[in-house]
Homo-oligomer: A and B are copies of this chain.
Amino acid sequence: MEITKPYLLFLGDAPDALAAKTATGIVDWRRDWCVGQIRLPGCKADTGLPDLDVQEAVARGARTMVIGVVNAGGSLPEHWVDQIVAALEAGLDVASGLHERLGDLPRVAEAARAHGRRLHDVRRSDQRFATGKGVKRPGRRLLTVGTDCSVGKKYTALALEAEMRARGLDAEFRATGQTGVLIADRGVAIDAVVADFISGAAEWLTPAAAPDHWDVIEGQGSLFHPSFAGVTLGLLHGAQPDAFVVCHEPTRTTMRNVDFPLPTISDVIDETIAAGRLTNPDIRCVGIAINTAALPEDEARATLDAARAAHALPVSDPVRFGVAPIVDRLLAEFS
């Protein structure tokens, strides 16, 4: 069920920019789908879109309010519910990528019914999956993997899709998280699938294709993250990638939300090959994507140079410098 555009992005009272990464992702990749943002007092995030209330947004043509923020507990606080109800009353549909279903909130369900509006829970899928089979499928696949969560796996995959298409390749971004699903208008939030079906859902998401077709698959978590490595491994096995790109954020000192040191890029390359070999013996690394947003340009360039020297692989910041060298390597390896 496609979500009707354009969007009003709800940022709530996001405590920092990263909490609103769903909204930011949509603006960065689908700016023309968005008419504005709505923020509550104390909001520390800003997409740069005009601040609107729900009536102003409707007047500018908005059709759906997208919850573009997560709160720490993963659930919807009561003061967000007021805004969601107001949006429904104003005639907007509402879309959310949280684990909690919008329709499980009685006031939201009632307002949607009363006003004939649709609720979209993009993290939940009614799709039934089979368990993974591990059988090699035709077509090519690239997976982005990471030293941590939130290091740029989705942006790297989207940038690779764009660059590959610009070169006339048959490439398609495959979304595996709620923000990616909102950007691609399809996909599976793989972290919300029942555990038995992680690799099966990945197989469903990236089916058999033409020999020259590339699925560019958004990675999740990290094989070294103690909260989410199971999701990462199941996705790796189901995706059976021919190629992978390691994503990294060089200023981070511990893994996101846990007190664990980051693995090195080499650790991630080695372990991805060791584990990925199970369903694709020819898996190989074709590049490194480093998110240098926190660094001035000279430091950014020095960081990329150092990684390039250390790993003998193409290295870039996909947002700052593009992914051309990585696509060059991909084509050299698989032509």
- Identify the A interface with B (CB < 8 A): 99, 131-135, 190-196, 198-200, 224, 226-235, 237, 257-260, 271, 274-275, 278-279
Please measure, in the bound complex, the distance between the C-alpha atom of A237 and the C-alpha atom of B232, giving whole angstroms.
Answer: 13
Residue of B nearest to A73 (CB): B130
Please tell me if the beta carbons of B226 and A230 are within 8 angstroms of each other in the complex.
Answer: no
Q: Let me know if A134 and B193 touch, CB within 8 A.
A: no
**How near does chain B come to A225, taking the closest CB pair, in angstroms?**
8
> Is A132's CB under 8 angstroms from B193's CB?
no
Query: Are B195 and A230 neighbours in the complex by a CB distance under 8 Å?
Result: yes
Q: Most chain-B CB neighbours within 10 Å: which of A133, A224, A232?
A: A133
The 8 Å CB contact of A193, one of B194, B224, B233, B278, is B194
Residues of B within 8 A of A228 (CB): 131-132, 196, 199
- The listed residue (B190, B191, B227, B234) touching A229 by CB distance below 8 A is B234
Among B134, B191, B194, B229, the residue within 8 A (CB) of A226 is B134
Chain B residue at minimal CB-CB distance from A134: B226
Interface centre among A190, A199, A228, A257 (most CB of B within 10 A): A228
Q: Which residues of B contact A259 (CB under 8 A)?
A: 134-135
A258 CA / B131 CA spacing, docked (Å) = 10
The CA of A134 and the CA of B261, in the complex, are separated in Å by: 12
A199 and B229 alpha carbons, distance in the complex (Å): 9
Q: Is the CB of A198 within 8 A of B195?
A: yes
Given the known inter-chain contacts A224-B278, A278-B224, please indicate yes or no for A198 contacting B258, CB distance below 8 A.
Answer: no
Q: Which of B99, B194, B230, B275 is within 8 Å of A234, CB to CB?
A: B230
Contact A196/B200 with A134-B226, A134-B227, A226-B132 known, Cβ cut-off 8 Å: no
- In the complex the two chains form, is A278's CB within 8 Å of B196's CB? no
Question: What are 13 residue pairs bridging A and B, where the CB atoms are less than 8 Å apart in the complex?
Answer: A131-B227, A132-B226, A132-B228, A135-B259, A192-B194, A192-B196, A195-B231, A196-B231, A199-B228, A226-B279, A229-B237, A260-B278, A271-B274
